[in-house]
């Protein structure tokens, strides 16, 4: 792998890897650090790498790093602290409702199980297909569908209660 190839790999996948880590951890700095380390590992081990399967490998390394360093830490998941939605409200009422909704979603996401949340955010924020998600997370498409369904149910239930 030349440096050029590596740069291409980085350009293609860095954002996905990083936001995936953010969806899991809710921590942007941590996600950036692990994503960077993931690419460093790929570079160091490049002669063992089959380039056709490098994407799966990237996520596997990211998962392993995440698991070994950070999984046991308990973190609060404040999604909207790091994520800025596009605001298009025109009236103060609309703006108020929007802020309220944001707050509700934030609470719901914080309570949502990590696996469901990750899949949900990958689908909604990064707008990835279930196939892509399955490949990255390393589970079957069926499992992604199931997690999505559970995540949506979870959201509906908790948001209704909050209304």
Q: Binding residues for another protein, per CB under 8 A?
A: 1, 3, 6-7, 10, 14-15, 18-19, 22, 28-29, 32, 35-36, 39-40, 43-44, 46-47, 82-86, 88, 98, 101-102, 105, 121, 124-125, 127, 148-149, 152-153, 155-156, 159
Residue 138 to residue 8: CA distance in whole angstroms? 23
Closest CA to 158 of 116, 97, 111: 111
Closest CB to another protein among 11 and 73?
A: 11
Closest CB to another protein among 133 and 148?
A: 148
Residue 27 to residue 12: CA distance in whole angstroms? 22
Closest CB to another protein among 3 and 72?
A: 3
Residue 90 to residue 72: CA distance in whole angstroms? 43
């Amino acid at each position: 792998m030349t440096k050029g190839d590596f740069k291409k790999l980085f350009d293609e996948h860095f954002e996905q890897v990083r936001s995936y880590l953010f969806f899991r951890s809710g921590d942007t700095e941590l996600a950036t650090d692990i994503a960077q380390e993931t690419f460093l590992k790929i570079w160091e081990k490049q002669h063992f790498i089959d380039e056709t399967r490098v994407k799966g490998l990237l996520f596997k390394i990211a998962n392993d790093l995440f698991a070994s360093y950070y999984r046991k830490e308990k973190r609060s998941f404040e999604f909207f602290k790091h994520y800025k939605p596009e605001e298009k409200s025109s009236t103060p009422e609309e703006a108020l409702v929007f802020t309220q909704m944001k707050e509700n979603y934030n609470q719901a996401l914080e309570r949502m199980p990590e696996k469901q949340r990750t899949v949900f955010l990958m689908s909604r924020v990064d707008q990835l297909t279930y196939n892509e998600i399955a490949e990255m997370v390393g589970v079957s498409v069926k499992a992604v569908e199931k997690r999505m369904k559970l995540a949506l149910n979870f959201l509906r239930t908790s948001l209704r209660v909050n209304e």
